[in-house]
């Protein structure tokens, strides 16, 4: 598994998915999430690890083990069905518009935050006009 991950540019697990991956590769330990993220990224050689922790935060560890954390705005969540997919899509859009990593994370967090305020998967996907 480790060998295959070195070809991944962006890995974006949520907290449950990350816990599963980490435990299956390294076993369990008492390290803080930040330390686990750095170890995982360093040893798997994933270029960018982005951990989505729902309403708590999004943390990215880049290829030099720099860490960026974005805290989502406080909102009233209605349906989180598409939040992860919206985050990933918005992040890709931001990168394609040549936004830097931190701004791309903030854009994606904002999009995912908007999406959870609406019911349903497709109807919850925000349009770019929502950011104007």
Which of the residues are catalytic?
85
Domains annotated for the chain, with CATH where assigned, are: 1-71 (3.40.1620.20), 73-123 (no CATH)
- Pick the closest to residue 38 from 4, 1, 70, 68 (CA basis): 68
What pLDDT is attached to residue 11? 97
What is the value of pTM for the model shown? 0.88
Confirm if 15 and 54 have CB atoms less than 8 A apart: yes
- Pick the closest to residue 64 from 94, 98, 41 (CA basis): 41
Q: Phi/psi zone of residue 50: left (φ > 0), alpha (ψ -120 to 50 degrees), beta? A: beta
**pLDDT by residue, tens only, the chain of 132 residues:** 566 889 999 999 999 999 999 999 998 877 899 999 999 999 999 999 999 998 899 999 999 999 999 999 998 888 888 899 999 999 999 999 999 999 999 999 999 998 988 887 887 777 777 766
């Amino acid at each position: 598994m480790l060998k295959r991950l070195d070809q991944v540019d962006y890995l974006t697990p949520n907290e449950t998915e990350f816990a599963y991956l980490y435990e299956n590769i390294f076993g369990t330990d008492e390290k803080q999430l930040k330390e686990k993220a750095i170890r995982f990224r360093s040893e798997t050689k994933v270029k960018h690890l982005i951990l989505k922790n729902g309403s708590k935060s999004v943390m990215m560890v880049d290829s030099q083990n720099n860490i960026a954390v974005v805290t989502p705005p406080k909102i009233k969540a209605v349906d989180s069905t598409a939040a992860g997919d919206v985050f990933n899509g918005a992040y890709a859009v931001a990168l394609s518009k040549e936004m830097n990593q931190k701004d791309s994370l903030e854009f994606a967090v904002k999009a995912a935050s908007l999406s959870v305020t609406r019911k349903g998967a497709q109807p919850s996907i925000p349009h770019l006009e929502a950011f104007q």
